[in-house]
């Protein structure tokens, strides 16, 4: 029986990698920057490097690793082998034979899935959604991704092409999104959007962590940028609740680790906007596995043959 696998979470900013065991423990993990503007070959080389770092660690520790699961932005073919597209935050990440190329480079089995689906599987298998049958998972990072657990099954739409909640419209006359649409949730509520908004208001660069720190110190501009972030994200989540009436909405990604205040503000916006009847039994909770959910879910593709 497989005991350990590699889980990789490919983000628009960072590649997180981990060695994971069947019960969700992570004996080894690390992170490296994503060469997101350098094209698909550079990203594949970085992913291969991440897999090989994990393989080397496993070999040094006498562990057999049968495969690597990869959570990637974009739509992945249902067989888990190819990224079709819809991953605008990574240049050239379209029609990429991801599993084949990594198998050739690393010599182990590779299975890919959309990153938010991987996060959802991680939280369902090991985290906040254990034992739940209806949940929506939302990752907030460079992009916004989502997954749906419906009646105990991960639902991905016809040919796996659905659940792109980051690209639902929250502003009809809004700015153009990288996807080609206009006014998308991701364009207004991702961490990248928060960073962009703060820079536009101040002329200064700050990352999400710094903006949260400034918010706590009473900085009025950080407060404005955060309020807008909650407003857009909360409206997006309210729309999703009105459609799915899930038992849980699990929100992950780095910013979801900001603390309870983050969820209090988010719940306030959702509470004011969602239909009370649809939201009556819905709880909005942070990803229990924090930023590791993506790696854990990706490893579950191998360990539990999930999805």
Asked if 164 is part of the footprint of ligand BGC (rule: CB under 6 A), the reply reads: yes
Which C-beta is closer to ligand BGC: that of 114 or that of 125?
114
Q: Is 6 left (phi over 0), alpha (psi -120 to 50) or beta?
A: beta
3-state secondary structure of 134: coil
> Which runs of E-coded beta strand occur in 48-105?
67-72, 75-76, 83-85
β-partners of residue 251 are: 138, 286
* Nearest-approach distance from CB 197 to ligand BGC, in angstroms: 17
**How many residues line the site for ligand BGC (CB under 6 A)?**
16
The answer to whether 71 touches 114, Cβ cutoff 8 Å, is yes
Which C-beta is closer to ligand BGC: that of 55 or that of 156?
156
Taking residues 177 to 216 in sequence order and writing x for each that binds ligand BGC by CB under 6 A, - otherwise, the string is ---------x------------------------------
β-partners of residue 269 are: none
The answer to whether 266 touches 234, Cβ cutoff 8 Å, is yes
Which C-beta is closer to ligand BGC: that of 143 or that of 297?
143
Taking residues 107 to 146 in sequence order and writing x for each that binds ligand BGC by CB under 6 A, - otherwise, the string is -------xxx----------------------x---xxx-
Given the DSSP bridges, would you call strands 248-252 and 135-140 parallel, antiparallel or unpaired? parallel
Which C-beta is closer to ligand BGC: that of 147 or that of 214?
147
Which tokens go with 37? Answer: 């503007």
How would you label 18-29 residue by residue, b for 16+ Cβ within 10 Å and e otherwise? Answer: bbbebebeeebe
Asked if 83 is part of the footprint of ligand BGC (rule: CB under 6 A), the reply reads: no
Terminal-to-terminal C-alpha distance of the chain? 19
* Nearest-approach distance from CB 16 to ligand BGC, in angstroms: 12
Asked if 103 is part of the footprint of ligand BGC (rule: CB under 6 A), the reply reads: no
Which C-beta is closer to ligand BGC: that of 108 or that of 146?
146
* Nearest-approach distance from CB 226 to ligand BGC, in angstroms: 20
Binding residues vs ligand BGC (CB under 6 A):
73-74, 86-89, 114-116, 139, 143-145, 164, 166, 186
């Amino acid at each position: 029986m497989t005991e350990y696998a590699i889980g990789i979470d490919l983000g628009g900013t960072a590649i997180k990698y981990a060695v994971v065991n069947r019960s969700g423990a992570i004996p080894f993990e690390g992170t490296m920057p994503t060469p997101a503007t350098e094209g698909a070959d550079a990203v594949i080389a970085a992913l291969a490097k991440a897999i090989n770092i994990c393989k080397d660690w496993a070999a040094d520790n006498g562990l057999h690793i049968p495969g690597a699961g990869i959570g990637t932005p974009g739509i992945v073919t249902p067989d888990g082998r190819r990224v079709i597209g819809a991953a605008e935050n990574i240049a050239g990440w379209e029609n990429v034979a991801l599993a084949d190329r990594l198998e050739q480079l690393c010599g182990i089995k590779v299975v890919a899935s959309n990153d938010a689906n991987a996060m959802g599987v991680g939280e369902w298998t090991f985290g906040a959604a254990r034992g739940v049958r209806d949940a929506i998972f939302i990752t907030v990072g460079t992009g916004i991704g989502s997954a749906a657990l419906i009646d105990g099954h991960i639902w991905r739409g016809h040919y796996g092409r659905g659940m792109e909640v980051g690209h639902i419209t929250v502003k009809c006359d809004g700015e153009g999104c990288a996807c080609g649409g206009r006014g998308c949730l991701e364009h207004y509520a991702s961490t990248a959007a928060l960073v962009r908004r703060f820079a536009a208001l101040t002329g200064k660069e700050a990352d999400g962590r710094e903006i949260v720190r400034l918010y706590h110190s009473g900085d009025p501009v950080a407060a404005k940028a955060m309020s807008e972030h909650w407003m857009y994200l909360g409206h997006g989540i309210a729309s999703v609740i009105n459609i799915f009436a899930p038992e849980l909405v699990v929100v992950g990604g780095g910013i979801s680790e900001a603390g309870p205040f983050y969820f209090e503000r988010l719940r306030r916006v959702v509470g004011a906007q969602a239909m009370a009847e649809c939201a009556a039994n819905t709880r909005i909770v942070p990803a229990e596995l924090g930023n590791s959910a993506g790696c854990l879910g990706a490893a579950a593709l191998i360990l539990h043959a999930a999805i």
